[in-house]
């Protein structure tokens, strides 16, 4: 297969960065997560604080299997896929692997272990039998052989997949949570209004409140609604957002807490 074929299938992705941190925005603020930032963006907001992510050509494609391997070694139960605009790429393969279709992650004490899953057409596994895990991850991040744990036959449900998107591209992947952050200059595709769990609108100027209400009106009734000040204008816009939420309590405040406390 050519590189373009591998990109189209999702087996290669132009990953800008991968890191372990706490979610700093929206509904899951404060939750530990492994972040996968994919390069490339078709929206290009003027106030974007990660403009270096826009040009996917700056990030040579890497094997998605290796991206998954790093994520599964992390202690977090959540993987957040962000960008750029991650839906510029096929994320089906990434999510299939993260969801354990072909691998399993088991958390025990301070370790995460990755196991091969038997072919379901073969003989059913004996829960008491010993299976050799691929590796063990120590507190220092090194990989050492480990044969001490038993295979856990339960479905792989430990890894939750979260998507952060502008909704500009068709959906791919399997997601436990979709955060829609629409942009005025490039409104989202209609299907995202009904499938997103969270709406996060960036407030840069007072006209954005009207835009936020228009977007909220298209969402499902149970969608969690957040207003977030654009970082460079936070001191000016934050008091206005607070006042707006007090008058419209269906909304909640989102702050980029990671920037306030100095983490990625």
Domain borders along the chain are 3-98+159-261, 103-144
pLDDT at 250 over 70: yes
Q: What's the confidence (pLDDT) of residue 54?
A: 76
Query: In which band, very low, low, confident or very high, does the pLDDT at 151 lie, cut at 50, 70 and 90?
Result: very low
Alpha-helical regions (H) of the chain = 3-9, 64-73, 92-98, 192-195, 207-218, 234-247, 257-261
Residue 69 exposed, middle or buried by CB count within 10 Å (0-12, 13-18, 19+): middle
Question: Which residues are paired to 229 by β-bridges?
Answer: 203
- The closest of 49, 20, 17 to 263, measured between CA atoms, is 20
- The closest of 62, 65, 119, 88 to 8, measured between CA atoms, is 88
pLDDT tens readout for residues 160-186: 999 999 999 999 999 999 999 998 888
Most confident of 72-76, 130-134, 180-184, 223-227: 223-227
Residue 33 exposed, middle or buried by CB count within 10 Å (0-12, 13-18, 19+): buried
pLDDT tens readout for residues 43-100: 877 767 777 777 888 889 999 999 999 999 999 999 999 999 999 999 999 999 999 8
Give domain 3-98+159-261's CATH superfamily. Aldolase class I (3.20.20.70)
In the three-class reduction of DSSP (H, G, I as helix; E, B as strand; rest coil), residue 37 is classed as: strand
CA distance 71 to 120: 24
CA distance 84 to 52: 9
Least confident range of 48-62, 124-138, 230-244: 124-138
CA atoms within 13 A on the CB side of 240: 16
DSSP code, position 29: T
């Amino acid at each position: 297969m050519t590189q373009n074929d591998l990109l189209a299938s999702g087996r290669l992705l132009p990953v800008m960065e991968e890191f372990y941190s706490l979610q700093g925005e929206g509904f899951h603020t404060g939750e530990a997560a492994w972040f996968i930032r994919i390069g490339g963006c078709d929206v290009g907001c003027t106030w974007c604080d990660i403009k270096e992510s826009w040009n996917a050509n700056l990030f040579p494609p890497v094997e998605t299997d290796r991206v998954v391997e790093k994520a599964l070694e992390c202690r977090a139960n959540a993987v957040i896929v962000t960008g750029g605009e991650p839906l510029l790429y096929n994320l089906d393969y990434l999510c299939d692997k993260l969801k354990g279709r072909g691998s399993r992650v088991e958390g025990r004490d301070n370790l995460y272990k990755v196991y091969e899953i038997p072919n379901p057409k073969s003989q059913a596994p004996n829960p008491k039998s010993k299976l050799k895990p691929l590796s063990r991850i120590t507190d220092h991040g090194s990989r050492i052989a480990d044969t001490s744990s038993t295979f856990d036959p339960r479905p792989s449900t430990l890894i939750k997949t979260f998507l952060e998107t502008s909704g500009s591209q068709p959906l791919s992947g399997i997601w436990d949570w979709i955060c829609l952050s629409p942009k005025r200059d490039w409104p989202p595709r209609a299907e995202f209004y009904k499938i997103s769990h969270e709406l996060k609108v960036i407030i840069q100027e007072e006209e954005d409140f009207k835009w936020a209400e228009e977007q909220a009106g298209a969402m499902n009734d149970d969608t969690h609604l957040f207003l977030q000040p654009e970082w460079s204008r936070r001191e000016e816009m934050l008091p206005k957002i607070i006042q707006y939420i007090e008058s419209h309590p269906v909304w909640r405040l989102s702050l980029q807490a990671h920037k306030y406390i100095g983490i990625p």
